[in-house]
Structure 1
Amino acid sequence: MSQEYLIRDANPNEFIKIGELMVKVYSQLDGFPSQKEQPNYYKTLANIGSFTEKPNTRLLIAVSENDEIGGGVVYFSDMKYYGSGGTAPQEKNASGFRLLAVAPTARGKGIGKLLTEACIELAKDEKQRQVIIHSTKAMQIAWKMYEKLGFKRSKDLDFKQEELSVYGFRLSLSS
């Protein structure tokens, strides 16, 4: 029997645990910069809860029936707080999400898709026209999932994070 996961906002007492999960997941990605190569990026991951101090920003988590955190993502209903390089923070009528991670022990259970769909639903509820995200070559599994959900590559959103190429995607919500 597969575990059921509930998507909800993280509580402040969970921020440290989620930060540890983010650091673990991103540091294990093949081809992704190490903590030594990009210490500030990993500091951002470790302090993931600080994103919730920004207006219109939420840290969503997937929690199992036995209260295990299976993954998390940061959702932005105002792109000016998105905090990426490139043009994404100037996008209007758009929501975005970043820093999606699934615990190694919870992979293959659809948690990434659940978190992504929760962000899409929030954007629809807010009557946004699009959802913007970024990915890297090291995140091919997620990349494929995003494309299956209707995200399209948007080269105008691409940027470099130090030496790392970061690729933009958008999902149009207009009918």
Structure 2
Amino acid sequence: MIIRDIQPEEFEALGNIMVDVYSRLGGFPSPEEQPKYYEMLQNIGQLTKKPDTRVLVALSEEDEILGGVVYFSDMKQYGSGGTATKEQGASGIRLLAVSPDARKQGIGKALTFHCIDLAQQSNNNQIILHTTKSMQVAWKMYEKLGFERSEDLDFKQADLPVYGFRLYL
């Protein structure tokens, strides 16, 4: 598996994976309930235009996109509700998604470790992310990697409770 920055010709494919993954989550809002959120997922490549922001993809040996994540080396660009965008000396991870056909291969973990490495290279002292109750597989993975719940980062996205986590580096 290779992890690298997304290329423009891959924007649509990763957007399709993001929409597919998030729309399958039980208890997560549907595209009809949160159309702007799903529009952002479909157009994930647009986030590459933000300063200090990288969209990363995990690729198979055949250059098939297996998953992706958005990494922010400056929380001002993070774009969530709550207080996270005011955090100093922090990197952020958002919108981790792994294709259903590629699950249980360590792709989510590899993408997360890549973001941890980038945060250390940026000399940030922590990484912040958010997840929901619908994302239990990711939630458990983050906890196993040392991320801890940070209630001060919690917020609601419409009626959806969103839970903050941080990892001190």
TM-score bucket of the superposed structures, by smaller chain:
over 0.9
Deviation, 1:14, is 0.4
In structure 1, the residue matched to 2:94 is 98
Q: For each residue in 1:94-149, what CA deviation from the matched residue of structure 2 results, as whole angstroms up to 9, or x when unmatched?
A: 00010000000000000000000000000011110100000000000100100010
What's the offset of the Cα at 1:161? 0.2
1:42 paired residue number? 38
Look up the match of 1:143. Answer: 139
Partner of 2:153: 157
Mark the runs of 5 or more structure 2 residues left unpaired by the alignment.
none
Task: State the identity %.
Answer: 65
**TM-score, normalised by the number of residues in structure 1:** 0.96
- CA distances 1:43-62 after superposition (whole Å, capped 9, x unpaired): 01001011110001000000
How far apart in 2 are the matches of 1:68 and 1:31?
29
**Structure 1 runs, 4 residues or longer, greater than 4 Å off:** none
What CA RMSD, in Å, does the superposition of the two structures yield over aligned residues?
A: 0.4
- What CA distance in whole angstroms lies between the structure 1 residues aligned with 2:34 and 2:98? 21
Please give the residue correspondences for 1:1-175 in structure 2 after superposition, counting only pairs within 5 Å. Answer: 5-173=1-169
